[in-house]
Structure 1
Amino acid sequence: MDIPEWLNIILRSVILVFVLFLLTKWLGKKQLSQLSFFEYIAGITIGSIAAEISTGLETNFLHGLYSMLVWTAIPFFAGLLAIKSKKARDFIEGKETVVIKDGKIQEENLTKQKYTVEELLHLLRKKNAFQVSDVEFAVLEANGDLNVLLKKEKQPVTPQDLKLETAPVKVPETVILEGQVMDSALASCGLTREWLDAELQKLGIALDNVFIGQVDAYGQFTADLYDDKIQLPKPQEKPLLLSALKKCQADFESFSLATENEEAKQMYHQHSKKLADMIKKTEYLLVN
């Protein structure tokens, strides 16, 4: 009994979906932007072959599969060769090219890569570099990405530049998602549902109106609501803590000036100085 053409096409397509999936898994996990020219061409060809043998009923199905296997094997073994040999890797995947050095565009290198100045400026803007003279070094990678190093005086100031100590930052935990409490995330923060209920009461919102609720590394709860017209008050825990620390420091200084006991005066003054140093180091963490 002959199989109807429509059923034949469906069966071929289903088989090819699984074959393409397996072949793609075999080639690896590279993103599209990371593919070499060789891998990109092979991918297009494999897709074209799959489309042809999926609908081309007059062609031999196995012959099409053989062709797909060949086109998959070539880039696979080329990738293995590239891992073993630097020369092979440079030939197959290409080499990085310096396009800006010391704030000067390397016109010859740019021309070799067939890039225009407008295209280079576009890539620079995507890296938040709007002026060529601000760039110390720019490299066009083999996959087409542009990596930019700004001149030292143009780089953003970091806590390290200011010689400030910073606390390690942890990923915020999502404890409410679409009105549902995420108990595992809440437990990983060492918090309870009672604590969460209290936080919701502080903000005056209902659980089922919370689209997403998160707890940051400092145990501060923030929420995004379904109803965007509701304005939530800003968290006050950190500003209140900063205010309390400053009040304690001022009190110690006041006690130091008020007492006539030299030993007590020194003690108050030392504690006031320690608190002032602590406030200086942590203020940037508590102002937001």
Structure 2
Amino acid sequence: MPTWVEIMLRTLSAVSILFIMTKILGKRQVSQLSLFEYITGASLGNISAYIALDSDQKWYLGVLALATWVLVSVLMEYATLWSRWVRGIVDGKGTVLVEKGTIIKKNMNKVRVTLDEFMMQMRGNSIQQLADVEYAVMEANGEITFLLTKEQQPLTAKTLGLTVQPEREPQSVVMDGFVIEDTLRRSGFNRIWLSKQLSENGVDLDEVYLAQVDDTGKITIQTGDRAIP
């Protein structure tokens, strides 16, 4: 077999195997990865490259290494579910940076966050001054979460002493011109009602890009170039 054909086949096999292994591991955003998961991801990528390019070695050894990494990672995930102590080591813990409106400098130094970086994170959360912050915590994934003082927190129905009815998620009943029958039924309507709504708004079904029904029964329609409330 020519070398270039072997490399192509090994690359396709490595990609397929890596995809299957990643599906087994589950999915998280990069910002949500723990240190161990980050190391696992980098190692899996390196091993896959080895499988694809190192034609002097037996390819199945790379697959064995991949399977071992995935097994260790899965076992570690279960260990973090069962043990708080293991979870603290693998995933880490949050670090309080601001407590009762006061910056804790030793914790800032511990996590190596400068004031400039901290202020940038504040502005990214639409906070302009430290006096508005009650607590700030650097989470295990490196993100900083802020709790505003009560005076700066947005008003809610509970704050105002109001009782509101629970709200249901809007249901998509038409997507790309096709009716989603089960969603339409769950919303308590049928095709006759939908056709009437479209007719009243002067829209044909094949023109509808997206149509949603809220918990009050009101429909909103989005065509390719306009929205019809």
TM-score range, shorter chain: 0.7 to 0.9
**Larger radius of gyration between Structure 1 and Structure 2:** 1
- Deviations 1:218-269 (Å, cap 9, x if unpaired)? 01111112233xx74x5xxxxxxxxxxxxxxxxxxxxxxxxxxxxxxxxxxx
Which structure features the higher share of strand residues? 2
Quote how far apart the aligned CAs of 1:95 are: 1.6
Q: How does 1:83-122 map to 2 (within 5 A)?
A: 83-122=81-120
Q: Provide the residue aligned with 2:144 in structure 1.
A: 146
* 1-structure distance, mates of 2:5, 2:49: 16
Q: TM-score, normalised by structure 1?
A: 0.70
Cα gap change, 1:218 to 1:42, in 2 (>3 Å)? same
Alignment-mate amino acid for residue 156 of structure 2: T
- Ranges in structure 1 where 5+ consecutive residues have no aligned partner: 235-288
Q: CA RMSD, aligned part only?
A: 2.4
SS of the residue 2:89 aligns to: helix
Alpha-carbon shift at residue 14 of structure 1 (Å): 3.1
The one-character-per-residue Cα deviations of 1:74-120 (angstroms, maximum 9, x if unpaired) are 44444444444434332322221001111222222112112222222
Paired residue type of 1:188: R
Change (3 A) 1:216 1:86: closer
1:192 matches 2:184 = no
Contact 1:27 1:72 in 2 (8 A): yes
% identical aligned pairs: 36
Confirm or deny that 1:41 pairs with 2:36. Answer: no
Aligned length: 229
The 1:205–1:84 alpha-carbon spacing in structure 2 relative to 1, beyond 3 Å, is: closer
Superposition map of 1:1-288 within 5 A? 3-228=1-226, 232=228
Larger fraction in helix: 1
> Does the residue aligned with 1:148 lie in a helix, a strand or coil?
strand
CA distance in 1, matches of 2:17, 2:220: 46
Query: Per-residue displacement from partner, 1:174-227 (whole Å, max 9, x unpaired)?
Result: 122222333332222222333223323332333333221111100111111223
Code of the residue aligned with 1:48 in structure 2: it is: N
Within 2, Cα distance between the matches of 1:90 and 1:71?
A: 21
Q: Which has the higher contact order (CA 8 A, sep 6+)?
A: 2
61-70 vs 32-41, which deviates more? 61-70
Question: TM-score by structure 2 length?
Answer: 0.86
Q: 1:19-48 CA deviation, whole Å, 9 max, x = no partner?
A: 323433443444322222122122112201
Distance in 2 of aligned mates of 1:87 and 1:31:
24
Unaligned segments of structure 2, at least 5 residues: none
